[in-house]
Chains A and B, each alone.
Chain A
Amino acid sequence: DAGVTQSPTHLIKTRGQQVTLRCSPISGHKSVSWYQQVLGQGPQFIFQYYEKEERGRGNFPDRFSARQFPNYSSELNVNALLLGDSALYLCASSLAQGVETQYFGPGTRLLVL
């Protein structure tokens, strides 16, 4: 069975640009969460989506937004990129909202110059 997939694997952008990251959950999983991992730190929660609705939001500015599609895949958008947005963006899927075991994808490495 395919695990969580994310695209692209790497991305280089310049300050002020916008970026869209994509995630496909494990088949049968309906919940997707997004995390940002800065080098040397643990992942930080950005969003959770379940049944196409936002169910949780971390302490990130409004430049960050996301959505979930009817097939449960998800996109994370970041507008007006800052140098500090450079990080590994991880997507995690779980069966449902509130199911603790989250399975992570390989991530998208974003570099903002």
Chain B
Amino acid sequence: EDKVVQSPLSLVVHEGDTVTLNCSYEVTNFRSLLWYKQEKKAPTFLFMLTSSGIEKKSGRLSSILDKKELFSILNITATQTGDSAIYLCAVRGSSNTGKLIFGQGTTLQVKP
């Protein structure tokens, strides 16, 4: 059965810290991995990764995919209180549907 596991489940840091969120997966015929940030309700798209070893960056956030070891990491540097949210990892396999398989999320709290 397709599975996505995120770790840690929750994390508390102080402003200015750097955090690394992990996502491992077992999916039939992997196609892509996506990261979302969920603050109140709507998950907001951050990155989509399809190739190994290529880092995607947006400001203080970056992500990389390892297709051989079946995992991805999301890094946030110089964290701010506005980074407090649930970070969701989702994977798409080879089915013809748009089905995304989500992990359970990592809840990040950044304290002032």
Which residues in A have some Cβ–Cβ distance to B below 8 Å? 3-4, 31, 33, 35, 40-45, 48, 50, 55-58, 88, 90, 92, 94, 97-107, 109
Which residues in B have some Cβ–Cβ distance to A below 8 Å? 4, 6, 31-32, 34, 36, 40-45, 48, 88, 90, 92, 95-105
List of A residues within 8 angstroms of B90 by Cβ:
42-43
List of B residues within 8 angstroms of A103 by Cβ:
45
Q: Using a Cβ cutoff of 8 Å, how many contacts connect chains A and B?
A: 83
A24 to chain B, nearest CB (A): 14
Q: 8 other contacts beyond A40-B104, A100-B32, A106-B42, with CB at 8 A cut-off?
A: A41-B105, A42-B102, A42-B103, A50-B98, A55-B98, A56-B96, A101-B45, A106-B41
Residue among A48, A55, A100 facing the most chain B CB atoms (10 A cut-off): A100
Residue of A nearest to B101 (CB): A45
Contact present for B99 and A33 (CB under 8 Å): yes
Contact present for B96 and A98 (CB under 8 Å): yes
Contact of B98 among A44, A48, A90, A109 (CB under 8 A): A48
Query: Could you list 12 A-B pairs, sorted by A, with CB under 8 Å?
Result: A33-B100, A42-B6, A42-B102, A48-B98, A56-B95, A90-B41, A90-B43, A97-B97, A99-B98, A100-B48, A104-B36, A104-B44
